[in-house]
Amino acid sequence: MLYLYSPDQQELYGRLFREALPDLPIACWPQDVEASAVTHTAVWMPPAGFFSRFPNLQVIFALGAGVDKLLRRDDIPEQATIIRLTDAGMAQQMAEYCLYGVLHYQRQMDVYQRQQRASRWLPQATRLAGNIRVTILGLGQLGTHVGQTLATLGYQVNGWSRQPRQIEQIACTHGDAALRKLLPETDVLFCILPATQETRHLLNAERLGWLPADAAIINAGRGSLIDQSALLKHLDQGQLRFALLDVFAEEPLAEDHPLWTHPRVLITPHVAANTIPEEAVAQIAANLRALADGRPVTGRVDRLAGY
């Protein structure tokens, strides 16, 4: 049995799963079920202790790409496999979000916004896409799609990951040492890394200082990637032109947080790439069939790696 927990979209997901998997028993929270019959769950932010009631749980499907919160839980049995979404309509959204930030930088919209507030008419020099150096931190499926999309549009695209990668149209580097050379050669830094112990405050005060004085940051990965206090300091000092932020260390961002009113910051409420239910269900259904046939699945989570 598949047990679904997605309170905000329960009816929609329930219908989609029943249409995609007509031969599989499906129950939706808060429906009462025989707990021992539940072997699979599909969830979005379930409450504490949710999984401990299912003694025969085999697979947990996350209705999102990030699994850091799941991995911090203490109610997931060791034998359960966690499978995250790898796209589900998110890749194109993420590319659009990044492109918006890059165009904001390239066409100097942040400069024109400041000039508008000062009633100044002052055209800026033109910069072409081929002169903009974009660095992607994180070369999973989403980061790869973003990088290749930008490269197709003519931008210079570099990519960084912890392990070596070879990706068409992206100049790939890896390892902490590579950041020392890469960041000073970056105009727009796009972050799409997962939240792990290794990536926490990867962009600290020192590494933020390696970026050129005119650089911009777009963070659509996890809020823990950036030391927010250090980021504010660099923005205050004019070291960075602007930051487009979709994710934060604590969400929702506190109403009195200085990022809200900073003149060099654009904020969105974790909407860079939303899960599309139809796409998510199709991917989970395909993975369920693959598991049943003994074939490889996409999105299997390595608990030690954190993604």
Say yes or no: 223 and 109 in one domain: yes
- 49-60: average pLDDT: 97
**Domain assignment present for 45:** yes
**Domain assignment present for 185:** yes
Average pLDDT, the chain: 96
Tell me if residue 270 is catalytic: yes
Say yes or no: 110 and 238 in one domain: yes
Say yes or no: 96 and 197 in one domain: yes
- 49-73: average pLDDT: 95
Say yes or no: 124 and 98 in one domain: yes
Exactly one of 15, 18, 114, 270 is catalytic; name it.
Answer: 270
Chain center to CA of 18: 28
**Domain assignment present for 303:** no
| pLDDT reading at 211 higher than 90 | yes
**Domain assignment present for 306:** no
Say yes or no: 78 and 162 in one domain: no
- The CATH number of residue 215's host domain is 3.40.50.720
Exactly one of 207, 222, 241, 264 is catalytic; name it.
Answer: 222
**Domain assignment present for 210:** yes
Tally of structural domains, the chain: 2
Per-residue pLDDT band for 59 (boundaries 50, 70, 90) equals very high
DSSP of the chain: -EEEE-GGGHHHHHHHHHHH-TTS-EEETTS---GGG--EEEESSPPTTTGGG-TT--EEEESSS--HHHHT-S-S-TT-EEE--S-TTHHHHHHHHHHHHHHHHHTTHHHHHHHHHTT---PPPP--GGG-EEEEE--SHHHHHHHHHHHHTT-EEEEEESS---BTTBEEEESHHHHHHHGGG-SEEEE-----TTTTTSB-HHHHTTS-TTEEEEE-S-GGGB-HHHHHHHHHTTSEEEEEES--SSSSPPTT-TTTT-TTEEE-SS-SS---HHHHHHHHHHHHHHHHHT---S-B--TTTT-
- 167-182: average pLDDT: 97
**Domain assignment present for 300:** no
- 44-63: average pLDDT: 97
| pLDDT reading at 70 higher than 90 | yes
Amino acid at 15: R
Q: What is the 3-state secondary structure (H, E, C) of 130-148?
A: HHCEEEEECCCHHHHHHHH
Domain limits for position 193: 90-267
Residue 1 near residue 33, CB atoms below 8 Å: yes
Residue 204 near residue 190, CB atoms below 8 Å: no
Count Cβ atoms within 10 A of the Cβ of residue 14 and give its class: 0-12 exposed, 13-18 middle, 19 or more buried: middle
Say yes or no: 127 and 60 in one domain: no
Residue keyed to tokens 């799941």: 70
**% of the chain residues with pLDDT over 90:** 98
Say yes or no: 80 and 129 in one domain: no
Give pLDDT, residue 88: 86
Say yes or no: 204 and 284 in one domain: no
- 27-54: average pLDDT: 96
Chain center to CA of 24: 31
Q: In what order do the strands lie in the sheet with 40-43?
A: 26-28, 2-5, 40-43, 59-62, 81-83
Q: What is the pTM of this model?
A: 0.93
Say yes or no: 84 and 122 in one domain: no
Per-residue pLDDT band for 240 (boundaries 50, 70, 90) equals very high
Residues for the chain: how many in total? 307
- 69-82: average pLDDT: 95
Residue 239 near residue 211, CB atoms below 8 Å: yes
**Domain assignment present for 301:** no
List phi, psi (to 5°) of 265: -125, 135
Say yes or no: 232 and 94 in one domain: yes
**% of the chain residues with pLDDT over 70:** 100
**Domain assignment present for 307:** no
- 161-181: average pLDDT: 96
Tell me if residue 222 is catalytic: yes
Say yes or no: 125 and 245 in one domain: yes
Give the number of other Cβ atoms within 10 Å of residue 214's Cβ. 11
Say yes or no: 282 and 235 in one domain: no
Tens digits of per-residue pLDDT, 269-287?
999 999 999 999 999 999 9
Tens digits of per-residue pLDDT, 87-145?
889 999 999 999 999 999 999 999 999 999 999 999 999 999 999 999 999 999 999 99
